[in-house]
Amino acid sequence: MSIKNPKFLKNLSNDELEQLSADIRHFLIQQLSKTGGHIGPNLGVVELTIALHKEFDSPKDKIIWDVGHQSYVHKILTGRAEQFDTLRQYKGLSGFPKRAESEHDVWETGHSSTSLSAAMGMVIARDLKRTNEYIIPVIGDGALTGGMALEALNHIGHEQKDIIVVLNDNEMSIAPNVGALHNILGRLRTAGKYHWVKDELEYLLKKIPAVGGKLAQTAERVKDSLKYFFVSGMFFEELGFTYLGPVDGHNFNDLFENLRYAKKTKGPVLLHVITKKGKGYLPAESDKVGTWHGTGPYKIETGDFVKPKNTAPSWSGLVSETVRKIAREDKRIVAITPAMPVGSKLEGFREEFPDRMFDVGIAEQHAVTLAAGLAQAKMKPFLAIYSTFLQRGYDQIVHDVCRQNLNVFFGIDRAGLVGADGETHHGVFDIAFLRHVPNIVLMMPKDENEGQHMVYTALKYDDGPIAVRYPRGNGLGVPLDKQLKEIPIGTWEVLKDGSDVCILTFGTTIGMALEAANELEDRDLSVRVVNARFIKPLDEQMLHGIFSENIPVLTIEEAVLQGGFGSAVLEFASQHNYEHAKIKRMGIPDTFVEHGSVTKLLKEVQLTKEAAIDSILTLTPVKEKGMNYG
């Protein structure tokens, strides 16, 4: 596609727009079959995106995409179609709005429920500067369940400033939506064109001869009661919005009619648009569980996903299935997810224990405190949550869980670099923001066998909050012990002995550390490799031993350096007066890492075997084999 900007849309007829919609769907299906990406959400917003760009003047008018995975059509219409071969690839087109990519991307979103707050900020700035642009946040019905979105709705309704909120209602976020607000939207979907009914009603009431105040008051009461009759629980109108819709999000006549009505309406407007997620591609259109929300490459003809052959279990599956196994014996175990039952592989748990599995929607703060409440009542809550989304519940971790020392088990999924989703989704901050909070135990396994034992350890632990980090993707394929066992809290293990240098690492970087140590043996350098599986508490007994031997230490972590595991080792050395200790740290530098394959990203941040060897060589002199050192 050779589109440069959206101006060409102004002169197209509806028939031509229908053809453009078909062309864009064909383009998306073809391109995403090669690169993967968020196909379901984008196939659903083709007509809506075209209508917005035809009716408004981006970038003067600000179109803000909540959870930017629905912005691919926007990217095509703003001149980036030719870059779609690079979508979500290293140094390529981002899968989310990116301000550096285009002036049309006015807000960056990878997490949900932020668009309304950002839009309100832009509205206030517009009014203070006395400019006249439209501000149009586009938010999904799933994202609308997030607490931050509801806070913003409350503020927008109070301020009564001009803003057009487009509610893209496809009845799903990633997985099927849950909650009372979802049920309200369900009633609205079946209510017909509410605002037209309301206008007709007002017109008829005005024709009643106004004989005395009582009749006027009666008319108002009739109008209000009929409003509630036609649309049960007019949630948005009570918040101060003019509610328009529901509107068929695939019908240009309806879209343009309502967008123009919205532009003429003073104060906040909520335009409720009904779309079909995956529209135009049968496998995605018929998806009911979220499989086609975001995918890797696939075969267009069959809808089969192209996946590398890997017999090892996924990390998410290993953890959730181990929890499920233990839950058969311990009826206190309850599983919680903030809208990620598929990603966190909790379908099996939900099927076996439907009354002990709770999907709370996109509400991470609530999920954390819900778990705290369960723990206070002596249950055993397991909160399966991506590292990047755990950030959103940080105050609840500190205030509600750790401060009360409640026995919540956090399963921190997607820990480390995650690849194509990029900087909004990398799980690289959780060590730094959890390690300094009192009472919490934080661990990460070297392989899936140790992983299942860590899950067992976490569920047997009774002394406060405990967390297991695990990466995206599949395990190593190691054999799994049949008998689960507890790992003593705060204990590390030596994987390879050595006397010249010691590497302290854990999780995904252990393999790289062992390779570096083995290569250095060819230079007569003896490198000890320690599986520092407990990030908090540290194995203080082992650390005292290492520093007493005066062995240089290299710490390696696939996480940010500031406040991370290496910082903990430095703090230990300082606290215990090991002033001559030689410590070097490897980790992610003080920057946001963009998208790309994990291998390329690790190379970019210098978390490689070669970098580990170079770091070790700066810590200790090296002897080359065959040389005479007499």
Long-range contacts of 619-626 (CB under 8 A, 24+ apart): 619/501, 619/552, 619/553, 619/554, 619/582, 619/584, 620/500, 620/501, 620/525, 620/552, 622/520, 622/523, 622/524, 622/525, 623/523, 623/524, 623/525, 624/523, 624/524, 625/522, 625/523, 625/524
pLDDT, residue 630, reads 33
Spatial CA neighbour of 490 closest among 449, 544, 528, 448: 544
Mean pLDDT by 10 residues, the chain (630 residues): 90 96 95 89 95 98 92 95 93 93 94 94 97 96 87 96 94 56 57 54 54 51 48 72 92 96 96 91 83 84 80 92 98 96 95 96 94 98 97 97 98 96 95 97 98 98 98 95 98 97 98 97 94 98 97 98 98 96 97 95 96 94 47
- Residues serving a catalytic function are 277, 364, 392
Spatial CA neighbour of 145 closest among 184, 189, 109: 184
- Taking the C-alpha atoms of residue 30 and residue 307, their distance in angstroms, rounded to an integer, is 17
Spatial CA neighbour of 620 closest among 500, 512, 502: 500
- Taking the C-alpha atoms of residue 157 and residue 7, their distance in angstroms, rounded to an integer, is 32
- Taking the C-alpha atoms of residue 53 and residue 59, their distance in angstroms, rounded to an integer, is 10
pLDDT, residue 196, reads 52
- Taking the C-alpha atoms of residue 409 and residue 242, their distance in angstroms, rounded to an integer, is 44
Paired residues of 556 in beta bridges:
586
pLDDT, residue 310, reads 67
Task: Give every CB contact of residue 147 below 8 A, 6+ residues apart in sequence.
Answer: 113, 363, 365, 366
Paired residues of 413 in beta bridges:
386
pLDDT, residue 212, reads 47
CA distances to 201, 204, 205, 217, 222 from 208, in Å: 11, 7, 5, 12, 12
Looking at 1-146, list the stretches that DSSP marks H as alpha helix, in order from N- to C-terminal side. Answer: 14-35, 39-44, 46-55, 72-75, 115-129
Spatial CA neighbour of 173 closest among 323, 23, 66, 14: 66
pLDDT, residue 229, reads 41
> Scanning the structure block, which residue is given the tokens 């343009």?
256
Q: pLDDT tens across 171-219, in order?
A: 754 455 555 565 655 555 545 555 555 555 555 555 555 544 555 555 5
193: left (phi over 0), alpha (psi -120 to 50) or beta: beta
pLDDT, residue 227, reads 46
pLDDT, residue 168, reads 93
Please count the other Cβ atoms lying within 10 Å of the Cβ belonging to residue 590.
Answer: 7
